[in-house]
Chain A
Amino acid sequence: MRASLFITCYNDTLFPEAGHAVVRLLERLGVELDFLPAQTCCGQMHANTGFRPEAFSQAKRFVQLYRDVECVVIPSSSCVAMIRDQYPGLFEELGNEELRTQFAILLPRVYELSEFLIDKLGVEDVGAYFPHRVTYHASCHGLRGLHVGDRPFRLLSKVRGMELVPLANLERCCGFGGTFSVKNAEVSSAMLDAKLGDVLATRAEYCTALDNSCLMHLGGALHRRNESLRTIHIAGILASTEEHPHEAAR
């Protein structure tokens, strides 16, 4: 199985350890992983903020870059949701038939990480070991955009040594919302406050998710409050084994 990793712009820059974990995990499962260095961003930030022509150029770039690969793995549900939900409308508006055709052929081969593991590789037990108390935060784009359903739970429940604690109000947004966190910083912080209350009530050691964007939001506030609870991308947990425990967060 060959797959190409689209790491996403913010994981590349801010959370390279999530990328390391994806590489370790997928190579351990026998995937021949490639990384196209020409990749940059899927265009989500521009599209969601209203910068549509700018989003067009990123979307076009993505399709042209990946049109010939066997499949694309993306460790971020919101970027996959951008591609699945917004690219069709963008290309329709652009009126570029060739691009639309290329995209239609590429789309079924674009996977979010948990989708790739379960739907493409057909594994639930990835052989991970993570001896900690963990709660799972459902990012909105994974939950309502991709409808990943119980895939993350199926993966996490097979991790040895791990205690998975349910998070109350799982379906409620953490308040990140990309530029929303800055444009409406006060409301975003109030939403975050409510989410943190639920996260801390789990008394977990780690909060995990499919998206580092939510985790950056939660983790930033946890650090501000000197909480010991840490955030970790789901790839970090799934990559962790007895021989190679996960890289400790700085």
Chain B
Amino acid sequence: MTAPVMDPRVAPPFPEAALHILQNAELRKNVAHATDVIQAKRNHLVAEKTDWQELRTSASSIRAHVLANLTSFLEEFEAKCTAAGGVVHWAADGAEANVIILGILREESATEVIKIKTMTSAEIQLNPALEAAGIETTETDLAELILQLGNDEPSHIVVPALHVNRRQVREIFAQRMGLPELSDDPQALTSAARSYLRKKFLSVPTAICGANFLVAETGSVAIVESEGNGRMCLTLPRTLIALVGIEKVVPRFSDLEVFLQVLARSATGERMNPYTSLWSGVTPGDGPQRFHVVLLDNGRSEILARRVERQTLKCIRCAACLNTCPVYRQTGGHAYGSVYAGPIGAILTPQLQHMQHAQSLPYASSLCAACYEVCPVKINIPEVLIELRAQVVNQERAHMARWSDPMYVGMKAANFAFASAWRFRWAQRMGRIGLRLFTRKDGWIHRLPSLGARWTMSRDLRGLPEQTFREWWGARGRSGSREAK
């Protein structure tokens, strides 16, 4: 199978990528089933929390407080982590982060690394950079392993292989692990992955991870996971490198009380995630003896500077917005052309690209606001989507080509018509006359040209009535059926 394009700089626009996926019935079925299951679990466990809205408010307030004081919390983290024996690096962008990580690996003379699922590493294309430097990487998260072996890409932030079913997993494992007799029984599949990975855990001395949270107060790093592969990577290797977005810091250790509650319920529909690892720097004789944290900006400071968009950085990557999104449900994650899919991806990706790529993503939403409703840190995603759309339109305003975009022309024409009642009445009459050409005897329009064809591809349109409401109202006043005002 050919890997989907997940680099926003070269990925096709969302409608085009989505069209391709909409033809893949098996993938759509996998996505709908998986998201329905996770969402049902999430709803059930959220419903049992009587203080859910208070938890959301706390989580949102803490994240907002962090963003308002990000520099000082990061410096506090750096000081505490360094004091505990860790080494903190600062990377302005993905390229710099890759250089830093490669530098550490060279110092370690590493030829191989094991990885815990980290979306941030996919954001900066770390794996291709490692491969180019001759360093072999093994993803140890089951879903990431499936994708790595299957030459595929993540389609979900929490459940990256959600678009793959177990029959497909069996095929990938049978072929790549040399197990032709393997069955598609989930237990057999996980056992196969377990023995494949166990060798790596026991032999590779260098690991790369992300982080769910950094704690400023203690310099600690927190990782939550479900499979125990993380715990292996965090304890067995000699050297550990954590790649972390600068927004992931929380002020105090006790703040984790809020986030661990909302994250598990929102992400996987669990009361508590199976493995929670927390560590601060290095502990002599216990776990990795060399620990590096690479703090990644990669566009985040720019987002932080913007009033409406800033809330994007409150995200704790739970993916509840993906699971509830009716658009994601149809297209899965690959259509978004970025490691960050779904509603959060639609606002995060274009901003990480400095609004120079992925401009179709802010439009990849019906603004139904299901995402905002489930977001545990109250990111008003529709508000940010609309803000980004305004930026995209402002980019278009600068180009003459805008006048060949029927949407642009239509919007300007509508604005002209809406500016006065007589212009609007005139436009209504013109529309009625114009659409008569397309209206069939049954009073319905079955086919329209230009942008209208995008509507009539699946929907008819009732022809315009002979009388608008305002004409009816006017006539009614004259006929005396109501008191004239």
Contacts and interface: CB of A to CB of B under 8 A. Distances in A.
A41 B428 CA distance: 13
B475 to A, nearest CB: 11
Nearest to A185: B454
A88 to B, nearest CB: 11
Contact of B470 (A35, A58, A224): A35
A127 interface: no
B326 to A, nearest CB: 5
B383 to A, nearest CB: 8
Given A186-B15, A186-B18, A16 B465 contact: yes
A49 B444 CA distance: 27
Interface in A204-235: 216-217, 219-221, 223-224
A13 B470 CA distance: 9
A151 interface: no
A15 B465 CA distance: 8
A110 B143 CA distance: 50
Interface string B453-468: 0110111111011011
A96 interface: no
B465 A173 contact: no
Interface residues of A, number: 71
Interface in B180-199: none
B46 to A, nearest CB: 14
B444 A50 contact: no
A223 B308 CA distance: 41
A119 interface: no
Contact of B367 (A46, A54, A177): A177
A220 B459 contact: yes
Nearest to B474: A37
Given A20-B469, A51-B411, A180-B363, A186 B22 contact: yes
Contact of A185 (B412, B418, B457): B457
Nearest to A43: B418
B403 interface: no
Nearest to B455: A182
Interface stretch (A159-167, A187-195, A237-245): A187-195
A55 B412 CA distance: 11
Contacts of A220: 455, 459-462
B50 interface: no
Interface in B414-454: 414-415, 417-421, 424, 428, 431, 443-444, 446, 451, 454
Contacts of A19: 469, 472-473
B15 A184 contact: yes
A25 B394 CA distance: 43
Contacts of A179: 363, 407
A37 B366 CA distance: 31
A171 B370 contact: yes
A61 B415 CA distance: 12
Given A175-B326, A180-B363, A190-B330, A48 B389 contact: yes
A151 B142 CA distance: 47
B373 A144 contact: yes
Contacts of B330: 187, 190-191, 194
A170 to B, nearest CB: 12
Contacts of B465: 14-17, 250
Contacts of B367: 48, 140, 177-178, 180
Interface string A38-72: 11110101111111101001100100000000000
Contacts of B327: 184, 187, 191
B366 to A, nearest CB: 3
B407 A184 contact: no
Contacts of A7: 469-470
Contacts of B22: 186-187, 190
Contacts of A182: 407, 451, 454-455
Nearest to A176: B366
B470 A50 contact: no
A144 B369 contact: yes
A11 B308 CA distance: 32
Given A12-B469, A46-B414, A54-B415, A184 B421 contact: no
A9 interface: yes
A49 B421 contact: no
Interface of B: 14-15, 18-19, 22, 308, 326-327, 329-331, 362-370, 372-373, 383, 386, 388-394, 407, 411-412, 414-415, 417-421, 424, 428, 431, 443-444, 446, 451, 454-455, 457-462, 464-465, 467-474, 482, 485
Interface of A: 7, 9, 11-17, 19-20, 23, 27, 34-35, 37-41, 43, 45-52, 54, 57-58, 61, 85-86, 89, 140-141, 144-145, 171-173, 175-194, 216-217, 219-221, 223-224, 250
11 contacts: A12-B469, A17-B465, A37-B473, A38-B421, A51-B415, A54-B411, A57-B418, A140-B369, A192-B459, A194-B330, A223-B444
Given A43-B418, A50-B388, 8 more contacts: A12-B470, A40-B420, A140-B366, A172-B370, A178-B366, A220-B460, A221-B459, A223-B460
